[in-house]
Chain A
Amino acid sequence: MAADQQTLEHVADLERYKHGFVSDIDQEFAPKGLSEATVRFVSAKKGEPEWMLDWRLEAYRRWIELEEPDWARVNFPAIDYQDSYYYAAPKEKAQLGSLDEVDPEILAVYAKLGIPLKEQEVLAGVKGAPRYAVDAVFDSVSVVTTFKKELAEVGVIFCSMSEAIRDHGDLVRQYLGTVVPVSDNYFACLNSAVFSDGSFVYVPPGVRCPMELSTYFRINAAESGQFERTLIIADKGAYVSYLEGCTAPMRDENQLHAAVVELVILDDAEIKYSTVQNWYPGDKDGKGGIYNFVTKRADCRGDRAKVSWTQVETGSAITWKYPSCVLRGEGSSGEFYSIAITNNRQQADTGTKMIHLGANTRSRIISKGISAGRSSNTYRGLVSAHPRAKGARNFTQCDSLLIGKHCAAHTTPYIEARNASAKFEHEATTTRLSDDQLFYAMQRGLSQEEAVQLLVNGFVKDVLQELPMEFAVEAQKLVAISLEGSVG
């Protein structure tokens, strides 16, 4: 109730896309375009070991052989991969030791975004509020990671991917690319060649990570793409909750974001991964915005491993994203909770894959799609049970809400049961935000905008409650902003 209320109270103060500002920061770029030289440039900039460079070059060679996929229900002009910068980093900071060394301009950006980068500020926050550690990725590099020391005391490694490659090379080598192989798909392959930064997390056996971890991605530079790579490993019996957030300036040209996230979950371990995606969606006529082509996958490698993906997708011009769970370990389980909102000319093709390989594996999918304006919103999901996955169970619920008369919602579930003992359930509904409901709420005194927000918040409630509390409030506000002006 408090959260609903807060949405209504705050929304009036907020602009439609409040993160659209550009910061003037002195940056250096790789030469425009993509070639073997670009790959070498990125690797050299990061001072990477030989094995990492070889890995990237291998990916690049495979990528040039691949073709961009065209099966998703999204339309966009051909991307000129040579007309973009693949590396953009704030100058004068080869290696940052502490916050004092970060460019104050960059700190100002995060302050403006409301991301706490000073540990004492987090500590001085609301009494009793849970603390969370932040890795801040600005264009191609991580600028700061907080609470590293405190986390290290319990053995948790939380750092940028660049740092992990340098300082925890063995762990990175052991796991990188084992969940999403180099040539898994076109965009993942591109990422493997030129990925710049991202977060690395390792939680040792039996450790429950003492705070929420989060990474905040910010694209700032023009004509550049962001290619982050995240790798999270929960060793036996470990637990970690992780959240990623992202924003970008409002620009007229489209910018590419092709990320890869790999999660490895061993015996009895659990990862809870939440995303609040708020990339710039383009203007109301569909000009500009981020192309968000992301590969996210979790591998429940151990028995009784657990993973849950929760995503709130409100931004991007185009979203192409299917956070998936490979349920390999016996009795492992995967969950996917999604809110995908499209307005104006946005296009989203998103969903999940639940691959049941082990016996008695369980999965659950709750997807809430909301389409408004002239947008298109597709749920695409695969649930499959392999012959050895005896007793596999899945429950899927896909609900679509249409606002207005010019939007579209599509649901494309794929179900493959190669095992007679598998039990899959699928429920789907499509409803229009009804005039009856709007009138009823307005008759009680709610303005049209307030009425839409309240009704939509009701629709997505099952998913919002999966988010960590402080982010649920944030997400709820986002939902409201994304749908402003969608009725009437």
Chain B
Amino acid sequence: MLSIKNLHVSVDAKPILTGLSLDVPAGQVHAVMGPNGAGKSTLSYALAGRPGYDVTSGSATLDGVDLLGLDPSERAAKGVFLSFQYPIEIPGVPALTFLRTALNAQRRARDEAEISAPDFLRLVRVKAAALKMDFDMLKRALNVGFSGGEKKRMEILQMSVLAPKLAILDETDSGLDIDALRIVAEGVNAMRAPDRSMLVITHYQRLLDHIRPDRVHVLAAGRIVASGGPELALELEAAGYDRYASAA
């Protein structure tokens, strides 16, 4: 379970999150929605440990492990995965190499045996097929020259191979056409599991037509200002965020 308590985060000494509290129990999918500038991406970066996102107070734990004292790779090994809103291009490094290096780095950090090349390839083939990805694409440099949809699918593939305890999806629907959106959503749904918490961060409701959240939270001006069931997302879609922006 992810448990965030009274989190304050500043960027360039400017407070962005101002006392955010949120619990995502294992086995559940929670959506965080909010207007632009509310601090949605700051939340995902702060949880992943991006340098420059300074936690000034509060706590964040995953299954009781304090995340905030760890560097990004240590958090990854503890099970934190962030699907980036804008996945990064890595020239000259084939996606397969990148992914195997990452998986084995995590395994080493957890004192687990590294995965062998044949086992790894078998695993990736299955996962890629489920996401309707051309396996040859994985031999290309990671994300270089990929379309927006391909990049997002690659994020979901990485997530499914790395099998995290906490999956944070930051604006995964941006840049996706309706078919790609469905495939990505199916990939995410297939990853629902009793020991996994998922946090879906989105501006629009449309992703939630495909990934049905257990809870929906509204993030405005750095805090969670409202929480409810899936119906809250529909309400937001109809009424907009204005009400919350002024409330904050």
Contacts and interface: CB of A to CB of B under 8 A. Distances in A.
A462 B93 CA distance: 11
A4 interface: yes
Interface string B57-97: 00000000000000111011100111010011011111011
A445 B109 contact: yes
Contacts of B104: 5, 8
B51 A444 contact: no
A460 B73 CA distance: 24
B97 A4 contact: yes
Nearest to A464: B92
A81 interface: no
Contacts of B106: 444-445
B141 A458 contact: yes
6 contacts: A4-B97, A437-B88, A437-B90, A441-B102, A442-B76, A445-B103
A146 B81 CA distance: 53
B73 A1 contact: no
Contact of A442 (B73, B81, B87, B90): B73
A440 B51 CA distance: 11
Interface residues of B, number: 37
B106 to A, nearest CB: 4
A115 interface: no
Contact of B90 (A441, A450, A460): A441
Contacts of A443: 48-50, 72-73, 75-76, 80-82, 84
5 smallest beta-carbon distances between A and B, as pairs: A458-B92, A444-B102, A458-B93, A445-B106, A445-B76
Given A435-B51, A439-B50, A454-B98, A444 B158 contact: yes
A440 B73 contact: no
Interface string A33-76: 00000000000000000000000000000000000000000000
A1 B97 contact: yes
Contact of A5 (B72, B92, B100): B100
A462 B84 contact: no
**Most chain A CB inside 10 Å of its own CB: which residue of B80, B87, B91, B158:** B91
A435 B163 CA distance: 25
B42 to A, nearest CB: 14
A437 to B, nearest CB: 5
A2 B94 CA distance: 12
Nearest to B50: A439
Interface in B28-55: 48-51
Contacts of A185: none
Contacts of A434: 88
Contacts of A8: 101, 104-105
A458 B72 contact: no
A1 B49 CA distance: 28
A419 interface: no
Interface string B90-125: 111110111111111110010000000100000000
Contacts of A451: 73
A457 B93 contact: yes
Contact of B91 (A439, A450, A458): A458
A439 B93 contact: no
B198 interface: no
Interface string A432-472: 00111101111111111011001101111110000000000
Interface in B111-166: 117, 141, 158, 162
Interface residues of A, number: 29
Nearest to B144: A458
- Chain B interface, DSSP helix/strand/loop, else mixed: helix
Contact of A445 (B88, B117, B162): B162
Output the residue of A2, A434, A442, A459 with the most chain B CB within 10 A. Answer: A442
B246 to A, nearest CB: 35
Chain B CB within 10 Å, residue with most, of A434, A444, A450: A444
Interface string A1-36: 110110010000000000000000000000000000
Contacts of A454: 90, 93, 97-98, 101
Interface in A374-427: none
A303 to B, nearest CB: 36
Given A445-B102, A446-B102, A457 B92 contact: yes
A436 B90 contact: no
Given A444-B158, A445-B102, 6 more contacts: A5-B101, A8-B101, A8-B105, A436-B88, A437-B88, A445-B103
A459 B92 contact: yes
A4 B93 contact: yes
A350 B133 CA distance: 43
Contacts of B87: 440
Nearest to A442: B72
A436 B143 CA distance: 13
Contacts of A2: 117
B73 A448 contact: yes
Contacts of B141: 458
B158 A458 contact: no
A434 B89 CA distance: 11
A445 B97 CA distance: 13
B165 to A, nearest CB: 13
Contacts of A447: 73, 105
A446 B93 contact: no
Contacts of B103: 445
Contacts of B49: 443
A4 B71 contact: no
Given A1-B100, A439-B51, A444 B76 contact: yes
Contact of A444 (B92, B94, B96, B162): B162
Contacts of A448: 71, 73
A312 to B, nearest CB: 15
A110 B114 CA distance: 33
Contacts of B75: 443
A440 B77 CA distance: 14
Contacts of A441: 90, 98, 102
Nearest to A368: B92
Contacts of A437: 88, 90
B164 to A, nearest CB: 10
B105 A445 contact: yes
Contact of B88 (A5, A440, A459, A460): A440
Contacts of B81: 443
B124 to A, nearest CB: 12
A461 B92 contact: yes
B82 to A, nearest CB: 5
A434 B91 CA distance: 12
Nearest to B76: A445
Contacts of A5: 97, 100-101, 104
